[in-house]
Amino acid sequence: MKRIALAAFLFVTLVLSAAEPAPTLRRNTVDEVIAAMTPEEKVLMVIGNKNNDRRRYIGEGSTWYCARLGLMPTVMCDGPAGVRMKPFRDGDSTKAYYSTAFPTATALAATWNTELVETVGDAMGNETLEYGADVLLAPAMNIQRDPLCGRNFEYYSEDPLLSGKMGAAMVRGIQSQGVGTSVKHFAANNQESNRKGVNAVISQRALREIYLRGFEIAIREAAPCTVMSSYNRLNGVYASQNRDLLTTVLRDEWGFDGMVMTDWFAGDDGVAQMKAGNDIIMGGFPHGHYKYHQPEILSALSDKTLDEEVLDRNIRRILGFVKKTPSYREYACSLKPDLARHAQVAQRAADEAMVLLKNDRNTLPVRKPNRVALFGKTSYDFIAGGTGSGEVHYGHAVSLKEGLSNVGFRISSAADRFYTRFVDSVFAAGGHKKYAVTRSQEPRIDKALVEAEAKVTDMGVVTLGRLSGEGVDRKEEGYFTLTDNDNALYLTVNFLSEHVLDLHNCFLHPLLYQSECPVIVIVFNLVEENQFLLVVCAGEKHNHRSAEVGLMKIIQHIVGAQERI
């Protein structure tokens, strides 16, 4: 009888235990949820995942999904110039979801207008929210230490004060929409080639005054939700494994209380990342790395070389972040942000971003629409942004030819035919259509064609552009310097035409400023709606920046940024 009673008691106890629900993030405190986690679940929580439905079309990763504990995945999305996502969904090619390609960070910094940058951030944040992401992986705030860095277009400036103020404004704007930001790449990630292997050896003074200062301003003034640690080593230690950087400086000195994530697949020691204060390892499962740091962290927990309290601390920060997201609030995204309004914001920002370096002979402003000859392949196929994480899939980019035509300029036909045939031939050869023309050599133009155009047009416009992107730095030869065909085009047009407007969306070589070209405008890598160029050409309201100030800014980029540590 006693055995039967004992068995009945154990059965009732088990039933009651089974019926008792596990703590969930909505019903219970963060600490109660952590206490209910198994060691295996804790390890999964500190490693990023891609196991969410929305990942099919938006986001580069997410936090771990666990139905048992009520943990929904939160989606992290690129990037610094606008929401980067697939424009088509679930095999349906009949409906596209495009994002606004906003002016790049370098262009925004050229405005010196934090209020405007905050407005741009607000529009970016709205697209992030309405397309279903929780965090925009932006702004990128590394110093433009070398003009050949592949990702300079994502960064604001060589000046830490300007970078910090612009970054803070961007964070405030994006987060005003209820989504998060990720200030990156922390820190001293100033080159792309060998970015996972380079060791940035920097004195404490240079580190504090230059490479950390912009981050400090943005974090203290705008309180970003997250910070992304960088790929590189800093004074011998990977940034994602550097306790001095992530805990002593970031948290203890600057008071940051948000979540720290690695850059995607950064570092080489998951346990060291946990101890350093890097809360979550991205991008996580699935990836070529089998189980991606899971066995080593579990083993360290088991043999006590990793204190479980360290893991709990990191999870506490992750769950604190999760509770601030639209996913946690169960926000129903509309998939219909106001792209028309955002295009106007982008155009206004691009307008202010252009820098007038030279305006001899009072060529600008043009008082009325004239007949114009367009030279240079990028007059007909414009660069909007760069490649990699900072790329945006926009619906349409307005070329210079199209934009000028839209406001009444008459485009001369001879140069138009020459370059249109060239662009068509490049597309016919295959390759990535978006960047095929940009990556091709500038075609060599016949002097007789330029002579003929000079006789029948009122103005010549020369564009020179370069493409850059993530993963590799640019070579000096043919990028920073002009190619033979660039030189031939530039010199021929300037010699034969009295009124020449020179547009650059790349770093400007100082020798060009000394040329005979009466007008030089630097437009950086701007936006898809290139109507902004007309603001200068047509003499409408625009930002007249003095040649002296503009030249000094460009020379600082080119010369000052080349100083070595």
C-beta of residue 259 within 8 angstroms of C-beta of residue 313? no
Structure tokens at 403: 């934009």
Structure tokens at 256: 């940051």
- The b-or-e profile of 388-421 (16+ CB within 10 A means b, else e) is bbbbbbbeebbbbbebbbeeebebbebbbebbee
DSSP string of 95-113? S------PPPHHHHHTTT-
- Spatial separation of the C-alpha atoms in residues 285 and 467, rounded to whole Å: 32
C-beta of residue 295 within 8 angstroms of C-beta of residue 279? no
CA distances, 344 to each of 123, 340, 351 (Å):
10, 7, 10
CA distances, 192 to each of 153, 213, 436 (Å):
12, 21, 22
Those residues with Cβ within 8 angstroms of residue 453's Cβ, 6 or more apart along the chain or in another chain? 373, 412, 414, 415, 460, 497
Marked catalytic residue, from 263, 279, 381, 486: 263
The backbone torsions φ and ψ at residue 190, rounded to the nearest 5 degrees and listed phi first, read: -110, 10
C-beta of residue 185 within 8 angstroms of C-beta of residue 245? no
Q: Give the angle 324-79-268 at the CA atoms, nearest 5°.
A: 85
- Spatial separation of the C-alpha atoms in residues 54 and 63, rounded to whole Å: 12
Q: What share of the chain is helix, strand, coil (3-state, %, to 5)?
A: 45, 15, 40
- Spatial separation of the C-alpha atoms in residues 12 and 5, rounded to whole Å: 11
C-beta of residue 195 within 8 angstroms of C-beta of residue 185? no
Answer yes or no: 263 catalytic: yes
Alpha-carbon dihedral of residues 548, 549, 553, 554, nearest 10 degrees? -40
**Which amino acids are annotated catalytic?**
263
